Amino acid sequence: MSILRTIKIFLFSIMMIPFAYADGIPKDWQMWYQEAASPVMERVNEMHIMLMWIITPILIFVTVMLAITLFRFREKKNPTPSTRTHNVPLEILWTLVPVVIVASIAFPSVKLIYFMDKAEKADMTLKVIGHQWYWEYEYPDHNISFDSFMLNKDQLKEGQIRNLDVDKQVVLPVDTNVRILGTSVDVLHSWAVPSFGIKQDTIPGRLRETWVRITKPGIYYGQCSELCGKDHGYMSIAVRAVPKEEFEAWVKGEGGSLPGSETAVEPAGVVTPALVAPIEAKKSVGKADKEPAMTSTL
């Protein structure tokens, strides 16, 4: 391949980056993240672009400097090397400039970490429990729980995706702040859905929190992202985001209850020990005598 052709392909690939977004699934030759479907992922994208603008000039600058140094100060052309060891203004400059660069990255980065941390005001809760090797889901506000297994090759129906589709999808309403609580009953797992900007470790005996507000209906795929044993690669995640009315119909179809109705056990937006895995629940109840219950009043 000629150099000109390589350059042409490279430039074309860069131009195509904005169009290379996938929709909730990875695609062949994908060059960017999957399409953002939550405010968190939109901000992750923005952060990524900002970082590219910072690191690309640095990369070019260092490469050019290195090339100039290699060429101009080669032994043949420069037989007597300089013995200079200090240059105060230069040393101040090459200390201050990186400090400014790192600080300009650190502030937006920390801001984003806090934004990802938890929902300001959660409308409902989804609990994710990692097992070797499948996911269990609970909707404490709706009295629903089920296991979700990846489909084997011979179970796939027309249009389903190998190694990503599952026997029972997580269904969530769009435009709703969903608190996601993650835990595990055996080893470390990680509930990761790229379009949501979520990669949350699920840890036995602990409860981790994150959140999502899905911006558009669709099916979003993910996988376990923590090496958790022999079937680690087969713990797929499929989230179907639907309009609110459709979600309510799904809840009824699953035999669940809507918050506010008579059978609802917990009001939405409150974390109680009952949401914690059985072992965690026992701990929380034990602690409740001495400390206030683990309740966040939003």
Q: Choose the binding region for Cu ion from 55-63, 207-215, 224-232, 277-285 (rule: CB under 5 A).
A: 224-232
Query: Between residues 144 and 188, which has the closer beta carbon with respect to Cu ion?
Result: 188
Number of residues that bind Cu ion (CB under 5 A): 4
Question: Cβ 187 to Cu ion, closest distance in Å?
Answer: 7
Distances (CA, A) of 16 to 59, 71, 242: 22, 35, 30
Alpha helix locations (H) across the chain?
A: 3-16, 39-72, 88-117, 244-253, 278-288
Pick the binder of Cu ion from 189, 221, 223, 242 (CB under 5 A): 189
Question: Cβ 189 to Cu ion, closest distance in Å?
Answer: 3
Between strands 178-184 and 124-131, the pairing is parallel
Q: Choose the binding region for Cu ion from 12-20, 111-119, 184-192, 289-297 (rule: CB under 5 A).
A: 184-192
Say which amino acid occupies 14.
I
Q: How many CB atoms lie within 10 A of CB 66?
A: 10
Question: Cβ 125 to Cu ion, closest distance in Å?
Answer: 21
Query: Between residues 129 and 228, which has the closer beta carbon with respect to Cu ion?
Result: 228
Determine, following the binding rule CB under 5 A, whether residue 228 of this chain makes contact with Cu ion: yes
CA proximity to 126, closest of 108, 116, 139, 114: 139
Determine, following the binding rule CB under 5 A, whether residue 193 of this chain makes contact with Cu ion: no
Cα–chain center distance at 163: 19
Question: Cβ 65 to Cu ion, closest distance in Å?
Answer: 45
Query: Between residues 17 and 227, which has the closer beta carbon with respect to Cu ion?
Result: 227
Q: Choose the binding region for Cu ion from 45-53, 99-107, 193-201, 225-233 (rule: CB under 5 A).
A: 225-233
Determine, following the binding rule CB under 5 A, whether residue 237 of this chain makes contact with Cu ion: no
Pick the binder of Cu ion from 224, 237, 238, 242 (CB under 5 A): 224
Exposure string (b/e) for 239-265, b if CB count within 10 Å is 16 or more? bbbbeeeebeebbeebebbbbeeeebe
Question: Cβ 126 to Cu ion, closest distance in Å?
Answer: 17
Question: Cβ 168 to Cu ion, closest distance in Å?
Answer: 17
Determine, following the binding rule CB under 5 A, whether residue 214 of this chain makes contact with Cu ion: no
Query: Between residues 126 and 174, which has the closer beta carbon with respect to Cu ion?
Result: 126
Query: Between residues 228 and 275, which has the closer beta carbon with respect to Cu ion?
Result: 228
DSSP-derived secondary structure for 33-91: PBPP-SHHHHHHHHHHHHHHHHHHHHHHHHHHHHHHHHHHT-TTT-SS-------HHHH
Beta bridge partners of 221: 238
The number of residues making up the chain comes to 298
Question: Cβ 148 to Cu ion, closest distance in Å?
Answer: 12
Give the list of residues 6+ apart from residue 246 with CB closer than 8 angstroms, or none.
173
Q: Choose the binding region for Cu ion from 54-62, 149-157, 186-194, 240-248 (rule: CB under 5 A).
A: 186-194
Q: How many Cα atoms are found within 13 Å in the side-chain-facing hemisphere of 43? A: 15
Question: Cβ 26 to Cu ion, closest distance in Å?
Answer: 18
Determine, following the binding rule CB under 5 A, whether residue 235 of this chain makes contact with Cu ion: yes
CA proximity to 258, closest of 243, 273, 247, 271: 247
Binding site for Cu ion (CB under 5 A): 189, 224, 228, 235
